[in-house]
Chain A
Amino acid sequence: MKQDEREDLLIRYILGEASESEAREITAWINASEANARRFEQTKFILETSEQLAQVSPLTEGVAWDRFKDKRVALKNEPPVRTIALFNNWFRIAASVLLVTGAAWVGYHFYNLKTQNPEFVVVTTNDSVITKTLPDGSVVYLNKKSSVTYAADFKSHRDVKLVGEAFFDVVHDNAAPFTVHAGNVVIRDIGTAFNVSSNTQRIEVIVEKGIVEVSRKSASIRLEKQEMVTIKPEDVQLHKEQVKDLLYNYYRTNEFVANHTPLYRLVDMLNEAYHANISIENKAVANAPISGTFPGSDSVEGILNAIIESTPEIRIVKTRDGIVLK
């Protein structure tokens, strides 16, 4: 036996955790020489003596309980802010440590997914739009608060699960069809670029170039360039429409392109993009056609002002809950 193994075994034997065969092995070893026997006795002495050194709390349960009750009363009367202030710095440090370890974990996770454990890669955005090139060369523009999941061995199974909104520019490959799953809708490309936007109320697919097949359950539809479909949960049939505007591109190009687009559609898009709360007070204004290209700005007000410039009859009124257009 090697030195370390023997030590392990010796301790385990004394603690009563050795298996029968290990016990036989160690007793044979103890009996083999006086040095071994001494080693055994020393170890046994240390373990058994230390057992008697167990410290006993100098407090009785009763005293400790009384003190606990006092502390509990004190805690109740104390404004909680004080406690937090005391540990404030520690919270900050703890939070930053959490952040760093969290980020490290995510990094490690991704690394792991790609190398040792090739299962799925998850890309999630929060407050920014990112561009991700997939292993096959296809590019995904992922809008804010969205995520795509795909198998790490992507080249043979080009399946992507989407939550939220993304624009896909797909590298065509006859042998491996590219498929996007959004909710229960399946979008199969035939070499193309398309936008998929999904939320709980509807899933919208817009084709920019090429051909796409959209299906849900048994219903299926083929979309070509400049065609789109909007699917609501209750829809049985899928109906394609002409793409009316290029607004859907805003997060990829960072501009809002309107071409005789009704104002309400622009407003819907702005509300989504900026998490704003803009409403339109009357119908005539809602349907007012807007044309122009408006570069994305830091604030929704910036864009609104630009839009209004071309349509002077609209007024912007700020209210407590948001913005009203009249």
Chain B
Amino acid sequence: MEKEKTINIDPNTEAGFEYLFKTYFRELHAYAFSLLKDWDTGEEIVQALFLKLWEKNDWTNINTSIKSYLYKCVYHDSLNFMRREKIHLRYQALTAHTLKNETDDASNKLKLGEAERHLDMALNKLPEKCRAIFHLSRFEHLKYQEIANQLEISIKTVETHMVKALRILRKEMQEFLPFIVLVLINLWKR
């Protein structure tokens, strides 16, 4: 990945492993949260992944960059977890989680306006694969090609999911969009 800095560390050493862990833990945690909508489960998954890697202590078989390998693992582990728990696509449960999380980080959310808060809720309604792709595109700023490589799907599929995501979000945001657009168009026409 072009954005990734070349890290001259050896993950087989304790110091190297700690560096790797500290560099990627928080963003992987956020990625897992995007998929699972639960910080605690997300932490468990990322911690378990690092434990597994530390136990195995073998990085030679990873032929992509370590970062995209980690993202791929978090994605699969999260999806497997959801399948196991059968919580995928249960929007009600997700919404319940979000509400809980919203009260949890109330201070964080206060900064957001009404429309943003609504969009945040709408994001939770995306199917899991859509959510993963949307996260990688919008929060990690990966190109379609990079997302395709990471999830081992075609570029066309990435695009299809983005279109699907947009369609769902637009539908969810309907009541907010006309107002926003009026403001923006006026700004733009000036």
Q: Which residue of A lies closest to B172 (CB)?
A: A46
Q: A75 contacts B39, CB within 8 Å?
A: no
Choose one: B25, B29, B116; the contact of A52 (CB below 8 Å): B116
**Interface stretch of the complex, out of B3-11, B61-69, B70-78, B134-142:** B134-142
Q: B181 contacts A56, CB within 8 Å?
A: no
Q: B184 contacts A45, CB within 8 Å?
A: yes
Chain A residues, Cβ within 8 Å of B123: 50, 53
Chain B residues, Cβ within 8 Å of A61: 21-23, 25-26
Q: Which residue of A lies closest to B55 (CB)?
A: A75
Tell me the complex Cα distance, A42–B22, Å.
Answer: 37
Q: A12 contacts B159, CB within 8 Å?
A: yes
In the complex, whether A65 has a CB less than 8 A from a CB of chain B is yes
In the complex, per-residue mask of A264-308: 1 if CB is within 8 Å of any chain B CB, else 0: 000000000000000000000000000000000000000000000
Q: B29 contacts A59, CB within 8 Å?
A: yes
In the complex, whether A7 has a CB less than 8 A from a CB of chain B is yes
Q: B181 contacts A53, CB within 8 Å?
A: no
Q: B84 contacts A90, CB within 8 Å?
A: yes
**Interface stretch of the complex, out of A66-74, A156-164, A206-214, A231-239:** A66-74
In the complex, whether A15 has a CB less than 8 A from a CB of chain B is yes
In the complex, per-residue mask of B10-28: 1 if CB is within 8 Å of any chain A CB, else 0: 0000000010011101110
In the complex, whether B30 has a CB less than 8 A from a CB of chain A is yes
In the complex, whether A32 has a CB less than 8 A from a CB of chain B is no
In the complex, whether B45 has a CB less than 8 A from a CB of chain A is no
Q: Which residue of A lies closest to B117 (CB)?
A: A53
Interface size, chain B (Cβ < 8 Å): 47
Answer whether A50 and B47 are a contact pair too, CB < 8 Å, given A41-B181, A90-B84: no
Choose one: B25, B55, B143, B159; the contact of A59 (CB below 8 Å): B25
**Chain A binding surface, main DSSP class:** helix
B31 CB to nearest A CB, Å: 9
Chain B residues, Cβ within 8 Å of A62: 22
Q: Which residue of A lies closest to B116 (CB)?
A: A49
Q: B21 contacts A17, CB within 8 Å?
A: no
Within 8 A of B (CB), among A104-148: none
B101 CB to nearest A CB, Å: 9
Q: A46 contacts B169, CB within 8 Å?
A: yes
Choose one: A38, A56, A60, A65; the contact of B18 (CB below 8 Å): A65
Quick one: which of B54, B138, B170 has the most chain A CB within 10 A? B138
Q: A65 contacts B119, CB within 8 Å?
A: no
In the complex, whether A4 has a CB less than 8 A from a CB of chain B is yes
Within 8 A of A (CB), among B131-190: 134, 137-139, 143-144, 159, 162-163, 166-167, 169-170, 173, 177, 180-181, 184-185, 188
Tell me the complex Cα distance, A38–B185, Å.
Answer: 7
B118 CB to nearest A CB, Å: 10
In the complex, whether B51 has a CB less than 8 A from a CB of chain A is yes
Q: A68 contacts B105, CB within 8 Å?
A: no
Q: Which residue of A lies closest to B174 (CB)?
A: A42
Q: B138 contacts A4, CB within 8 Å?
A: no
Chain B residues, Cβ within 8 Å of A46: 119, 166, 169-170, 173
Tell me the complex Cα distance, A256–B163, Å.
Answer: 69
Chain B residues, Cβ within 8 Å of A68: 21, 47, 50-51
B182 CB to nearest A CB, Å: 9
In the complex, per-residue mask of A230-251: 1 if CB is within 8 Å of any chain B CB, else 0: 0000000000000000000000
Q: B185 contacts A11, CB within 8 Å?
A: no
Choose one: A37, A54, A57; the contact of B25 (CB below 8 Å): A57
Tell me the complex Cα distance, A214–B166, Å.
Answer: 69
Tell me the complex Cα distance, A61–B25, Å.
Answer: 7
Tell me the complex Cα distance, A281–B54, Å.
Answer: 53
Chain B residues, Cβ within 8 Å of A54: 30, 138-139
Q: A55 contacts B34, CB within 8 Å?
A: yes
A49 CB to nearest B CB, Å: 5
Chain B residues, Cβ within 8 Å of A42: 170, 173, 177, 180-181
Q: Which residue of A lies closest to B54 (CB)?
A: A72
In the complex, whether B87 has a CB less than 8 A from a CB of chain A is no
In the complex, whether B43 has a CB less than 8 A from a CB of chain A is yes
The 25 listed contacts between A and B (C-beta, < 8 Å) are A4-B163, A8-B163, A11-B162, A17-B144, A37-B185, A41-B180, A41-B188, A42-B177, A42-B181, A43-B166, A45-B184, A47-B166, A50-B123, A53-B116, A53-B123, A54-B30, A55-B30, A56-B30, A61-B23, A64-B25, A64-B29, A64-B43, A67-B47, A68-B21, A68-B47
- Residue positions of B touching A, CB distance < 8 A: 18, 21-23, 25-27, 29-30, 33-34, 39, 43, 46-47, 50-51, 54-55, 84, 105, 112, 115-116, 119-120, 123, 134, 137-139, 143-144, 159, 162-163, 166-167, 169-170, 173, 177, 180-181, 184-185, 188
